[in-house]
Amino acid sequence: MPKHEVDYSLYLVTDSTSAILGDANICEVVEAALKGGVTCVQYRDKTSDTGVLVSTGRKLHQITKKYNIPLLINDRIDVALAIGCEGVHIGQDDLDLPIARKILGEDAIIGVTVSNIAEVESAAKGGADYLGIGTVFATSTKENTKSIIGVEGLQEILLRIAAENWSVKTVCIGGINASNVSRVVWQSSGKGKSLDGVAVVSAIMAARDPETASRELLQLVKSPPAFAKFGVTTGQQTRSPQELLVLVPSIIKAIHSKKPLSHNMTNLVVQNFAANVALSVGASPIMANYGEEARDLAKLGGALVINMGTVTPDGLTNYLKALKAYNDAGQPVVYDPVGAGATAIRRSAVKTILGGGYVDVLKGNQSEVLSCVPGGSNVQQRGVDSGPGNQNLQELGSAIKELARLRRHVVVMTGKTDLVTAGGSVFAVGNGHEYLGMVTGTGCCLGTAISAAVAAHPNDKLAATITAILHYGIAAELAAERPDVKGPGTFVPAFIDELYNVRKATVKGNVEWLKRAKVTVVS
């Protein structure tokens, strides 16, 4: 097979250690995996002597040739030459790429392990046929990994390859298994460059039935995850404000009629307020911070709100369990990375959560959202609680637009002017009142309102999110204007009233309140 025709979709890396292979025969495992659909095989054995490597390599090559699948040898060019297989895979500490190419020739397949942009550039310019990008997640099969890059690091590398127009193929490796492979492939299929495949070790080598495991993994590689069924389309990203405003009444009516579950994982200070907001906008609230409950709750057709108010190891574990449960069920997730840039612990937690699953809506203030930009943002931040000023709306809009494109979700940056995008047009929403910033939990509870909207109207999450922001902001304006409101203390019950009143009026066909909407496109 010519090397440009190689299919890297499901790339098996062998492991001969007893911890992974057990007492199974490596040749039998590989052949079973090939029957299941493995498209490329790398023989990796770090401990056996050369004689064993050559002997086993020849047996494996006879098997792979029968299925017309390439066999690559990890590290050992001499072994690859001895058995006459299709190529090698080399790491950063092995023989360098130019020497390997000179020895093996142009027809050989040569792959290179990379974990950062500098290594990618060197390998791509040096003529590597494919890159093994990782380690994506922590794994027990490879020790002394330089770093865990996560899905974020994988996305950054793919973006750079696309920007430079390098033609090199890509597979990711490290902790890839049936629970995450579909999500990783989908999240990494952004603009310009997508993964060409995934490299798997223990998910096949340690499986009781390697053939079935391979078949299932290949199906997952080729299938979008459950949560992608209502992805934001290109047409939805670039509408006019008028086109979005037309949808607002129907979305509010959908919340009212469906009464979707709003599952909030939040701190004790906010729980009561969040529950009242949910009820006022028409949702059914539940405050449940125990991750084990999420699998059952996710089946009820609602949405999850992860409000990172309190960061503890147990809390993080519960967030990840709930995130996975809602992803598996295909139900929306709203994530509020509270105080994301304030401490190293919070920055680490954000990376863990965004790498541990998919969030449909990322909502936070300027500092929090910019802290979620991979590699950091170049936009000047003006304080933890600051919102975007008029002088830098375009700059901030550009930053969140790129973030939305990269992570494939709706991004909401709150402030005096809220910015919202799904990767196309950036919408500025100017509604709200200063009292919202004077009451604990109002920012957190906007996430609750958004969760109700995206649960009731999942096929258009951008319109649903903007609907919730308008409902929330205009209700605040109406509440602040009431004669019985004298300040933040009297504002809260009036605000809950007006959230309810706006919903009830809309259901009856009265959308006079919507004339207050201030939605523009940031050019």
Catalytic residues: 444
What span, in angstroms and rounded, lies between the C-alpha atoms of 501 and 103? Answer: 76
Neighbours of 357 (CB within 10 A): 27
Indicate the residue type of 379. V
3-state secondary structure 340-359: CCCCHHHHHHHHHHHHHCCC
The separation between CA 491 and the C-alpha centre of its own chain, rounded to angstroms, equals: 37
CA-to-CA distance for 191 and 423, rounded, in angstroms?
11
Cis previous bond, 135, omega within 30:
yes
Partners of 433 in the beta sheet?
none
Burial of 296 (0-12, 13-18, 19+ CB in 10 A): exposed
Extended beta strands in 189-294, E state: 197-200, 261-265, 284-287
Could you tell me if residue 337 is left (phi over 0), alpha (psi between -120 and 50 degrees) or otherwise beta? beta
Q: How far apart are CA 88 and CA 100, in angstroms?
A: 9
- Nearest-angstrom CA–CA distance, 232 and 254: 19
Greatest CA span in the chain, whole angstroms?
89
**Tokens standing for 468?**
């919730």
Sign of CA pseudo-dihedral 25, 26, 32, 36: positive
Q: Using the 8-state DSSP alphabet, how is residue 440 labeled?
A: T
Three-state DSSP state, 88: strand
Other C-beta atoms lying within 10 Å of the C-beta of residue 252:
29
The Cα–Cα gap between 181 and 230 comes to 19
Residues sharing a CB contact under 8 Å with residue 351, sequence separation 6 or more, in sequence order: 150, 152
